[in-house]
Structure 1
Amino acid sequence: MNTALDPTGATAAYLAKLPKGAVETAAHYTQGSHWVLVIGKLAAVVACLIILRSGILPRIAAMTGSRNRQNFAVFATGFAALLLQALLLMPWTFYADLVRERSYGLSNLTTGAWLTQSFITAVAGALVGGLLFIPLYVIIRRAKQRWWMWSSALLALLIALATVFAPYAAGLFNRYEPLQPGVVHDVVTDLARQASLSGEEIVIYDGSKQTDRYTASVTGVGGTARIALSDTVMRDPVDIPAIRAVVAHEIGHYKHHHLLILAGAVALLSCIGLIMAAFAFPTALRLLGGGGVGGISDASGIPVLLAISAVFTLVTTPVVNTVMRLVERDADAYGLNLAREPDGAARALLATTSYRAPSPSRLEEVIFYDHPSIESRLRVAMEWKAAAQGR
């Protein structure tokens, strides 16, 4: 007769496999990341202050010509504001995204590759942002006091589109190719069929170029799904149960439309942020010292909006993280029921300890964690295993 599994004891047994030094390093990295988040937002506000007080944006707007070219002036001003902010933040992001990550063994990027990616991201972001500012300022000029209402509808649509198509932007920095036939291809195909995915495409990409993180994703539009595995999951010895668990979890995100749920939550928060921006703009403008800005309808005040956004996104971080933890819980449950690999899920979770402290305090988890803690997810997996043994 089999002895009933004790989920608490099984969870503790898995956590005991982690070297003490690795757990301490993970805790230092995770807690440091909280400060990186806060300092990054504050640095963004300081960058906005510098741009405003330099007076460069009104000069750029004036160089665009007559009032009949307002839309071009908005684009030029928005492009310049976003690009200047990225450049001013470059020393900080260089430390936070490369130097610090390297010090913990979490980045494989060369300095040249990081600079190239950062430049492409900054220019592309400035171009897209500059274009998106055009309809925003058209609405501000025409809707007057109710600009935030119409802008909210526009922003919600843009966030939904960005959320759906953003995963495909990864092709800018990584090479994707079909996963060759073999055991891994077979088990992933089997999971896709069990989940009733149609027209699935299974690819592998060179994720190890950036990081050693054990990861995969499932994306798709119009009823087709692309299952993408980082090459990090293929390193010897290949853990088939862990791969099954990870892919099943990601299929859960896809099947339950978690990207769209997250987009809806972010869109709702963004609408609240626009209302806040409408009321806070005069005060923020005065505090930042943008004396040459004629009001919220003046595109030279874009740095004020960016500063308000930085503060708002920092304050609402716990809200966004809570929504993300909820969808991660749901994907965990789906993945366990689909793959039926609780021990594979446990081993995959232990592989994330290098960048996520396994047992944070409840307050730390609520405020800063966008995934449930490793310890709590291990317990869920072991509870599922115990329940399965009893059936």
Structure 2
Amino acid sequence: MTSRQWAAASLVVLVVAAAAVALLRVPLTAPPAPRADQLDALATLPADAVAKGREFRGALRPPMYLSMALGLVVALLLGLTPAGAWIVEQAGRPFNGHWLGRALLGGLAVVFVGEVVALPIAAWRQSILRRYGLSTQDWGAWTVDVLKGYAVGAVIGAIVLVGFFTITHFAPRWWWAWGAAGAAALTVLLTFVFPVLVEPIFNKFTPMPEGEQRTRLMAMAERDGVPVRDVLIADASRRTRAVNAYVSGFGPTRRIVVYDTLLKEAPPAEVESVVAHELGHAKDNDVFTGTLLGALGAAAAVCALYLLGSWPGLLRLARVDSIAEPRAVALLLAIAAVAGLFAGPLQSFVSRRVEARADQHALELTGDPAGFEAMQSRLSLVNLGDPDPNPVEQFLFGSHPTAVERMAAARAYARGER
């Protein structure tokens, strides 16, 4: 078999493996949430708060869609014209056009162009958050966070660029195999290091102090049979008034993180409901599942790039000889942008199913559907959410069930529907 045939066979195996993992690890159905209960739950929410949430989400919609469209247009303009290759060439000149200099500086320069173009839209979004009172940051603090994001992205980008083009340079025929393995390994590595190295750059995390609430939360985790390293409090209030909690890492880095805003806004029973939801993610190993799917997807993407890279039409448009050369960075990013556009709805569907399962787990663990419904109401109102959004947008972008779906699921659970 030729290298291309091996790459095609590997792509098929990786896609089948990812599909198998998804079928085995991701629920295909959600807990019952009758529409009648959804409408009744919606009627219980304060009408003025619902209107404000919808107004807020409506204000965010133009910058969101403009950012998506502009990002795609910039990626295509740089990747499907000689512009991207020209930027790489110019950035590599200080190193006399050495392939590593072009790969690193050229690749980061292409990415930076996209970031600069998107910056005014990000500022527009921040101004909306400030206007509606959801952001607690002044412009100086926001700028610092943006710069931190650029720095983290540059480090990760440099690792990816140097690693990828080193492989393509020294293994021009079989780079897809080494690249696929490297992409999968990097995905797993980031899952371990992100909670301990990256998250502290943006937030300060402190252990929840000893007391009744911590004791109850740790006892609930023990009762659930979920080994948790710690329950941490994030100083989210330095950035937002939104309430949230999440689980990150797995194995020795697994921890449950609770926003300080949640502890301030919600009574202990509702905090327990949120933590029970996060314990559901840990018990079902959702981080492991996401990491495994991400690793398989990253490896498959490298194989697909290798196969797609032999398409003469694309290479002609980008004015490059091979997709494996540094001058093709912009073309790679353009392909990734288009692929991401189509993969987004599938990722949203998987996320909604996983979140719905964690909701069911919270209901079973706490046995408190009323507290769960109250928490979902609070999340929607404090976070200025639309509790019953447009179904098309929910299908395309919704990472969680809607607020009224979650409230209706609690009511169905209370009636014994499973």
Task: Report the TM-score when normalising by structure 1.
Answer: 0.85
Secondary structure of 2:231's aligned partner: strand
Deviation at 1:83, TM superposition (A): 2.9
| Aligned length in residues | 377
1:197-252 deviation line (CA, Å, top 9, x unaligned): 4463222121112222221123344356422211111225x411110110010111
User: What is the rounded CA distance, in whole Å, between the counterparts of 2:238 and 2:221 in structure 1?
Assistant: 27
User: What is the rounded CA distance, in whole Å, between the counterparts of 1:111 and 1:276 in structure 2?
Assistant: 42
Give the structure, 1 or 2, with the largest relative contact order (CA under 8 Å, sep 6 or more).
2
Q: Closer, same or farther in 2 for the Cα pair 1:224/1:74, shift >3 Å?
A: closer
1:262 to 285, 290, 298: 290
Comparing 294-303 with 51-60, greater Cα deviation is found at: 51-60
Q: Closer, same or farther in 2 for the Cα pair 1:286/1:101, shift >3 Å?
A: farther
Secondary structure of 1:387's aligned partner: coil
2:263 to 209, 234, 238: 234
2:278 to 238, 244, 250: 250
Deviation at 1:146, TM superposition (A): 5.4
1:314-370 deviation line (CA, Å, top 9, x unaligned): 221100001111110111111111122212211221123244322235443222211
1:214 to 211, 221, 243: 243
| Contact 1:108–1:208 (8 Å) recurs in 2 | yes
User: What is the rounded CA distance, in whole Å, between the counterparts of 1:317 and 1:127 in structure 2?
Assistant: 25
Q: Does 1:357 align with 2:386?
A: yes
User: What is the rounded CA distance, in whole Å, between the counterparts of 1:329 and 1:20 in structure 2?
Assistant: 26
Q: Does 1:314 align with 2:305?
A: no
Q: Does 1:203 align with 2:232?
A: yes
Q: Does 1:298 align with 2:325?
A: yes
2:180 to 142, 152, 165: 152
| Contact 2:184–2:296 (8 Å) recurs in 1 | yes
1:186 to 206, 211, 215: 215
In structure 1, the residue matched to 2:145 is 117
Deviation at 1:283, TM superposition (A): 4.2
In structure 2, the residue matched to 1:82 is 111
Q: Does 1:372 align with 2:401?
A: yes
User: What is the rounded CA distance, in whole Å, between the counterparts of 2:312 and 2:378 in structure 1?
Assistant: 48
Superposition pairs of residues 18-57 of structure 1, within 5 angstroms: 18-30=45-57, 36-48=63-75, 49=77, 53=83, 55-57=86-88
Deviation at 1:310, TM superposition (A): 1.6
Superposition pairs of residues 59-70 of structure 1, within 5 angstroms: 59-65=90-96, 67=98, 70=99
User: What is the rounded CA distance, in whole Å, between the counterparts of 1:94 and 1:224 in structure 2?
Assistant: 33
Q: Which amino acid aligns with 1:385?
A: A
Comparing 325-334 with 336-345, greater Cα deviation is found at: 336-345
Comparing 100-109 with 205-214, greater Cα deviation is found at: 100-109
Q: Which amino acid aligns with 2:410?
A: A
1:84-136 deviation line (CA, Å, top 9, x unaligned): 3322321122223x123223332222111111111121122122212211221
User: What is the rounded CA distance, in whole Å, between the counterparts of 2:150 and 2:354 in structure 1?
Assistant: 30
In structure 2, the residue matched to 1:3 is none
Q: Does 1:343 align with 2:370?
A: yes
| Contact 1:262–1:324 (8 Å) recurs in 2 | no
Percent of paired sites with the same residue: 25
| Contact 1:358–1:373 (8 Å) recurs in 2 | yes
| Contact 2:129–2:135 (8 Å) recurs in 1 | yes
| Unpaired segments ≥5 residues, structure 1 | 1-5
Q: Does 1:161 align with 2:189?
A: yes
Task: Report the TM-score when normalising by structure 2.
Answer: 0.80
Q: CA RMSD in A?
A: 3.0
User: What is the rounded CA distance, in whole Å, between the counterparts of 1:35 and 1:312 in structure 2?
Assistant: 23
Q: Which amino acid aligns with 2:147?
A: F
Comparing 7-16 with 254-263, greater Cα deviation is found at: 7-16
Secondary structure of 2:415's aligned partner: helix
Comparing 227-236 with 260-269, greater Cα deviation is found at: 260-269
| Unpaired segments ≥5 residues, structure 2 | 1-32
User: What is the rounded CA distance, in whole Å, between the counterparts of 1:352 and 1:234 in structure 2?
Assistant: 12
Q: Closer, same or farther in 2 for the Cα pair 1:225/1:154, shift >3 Å?
A: closer
| Contact 2:137–2:239 (8 Å) recurs in 1 | yes
Secondary structure of 2:258's aligned partner: strand
Deviation at 1:285, TM superposition (A): 5.5
| Contact 2:248–2:287 (8 Å) recurs in 1 | no
In structure 1, the residue matched to 2:136 is 108
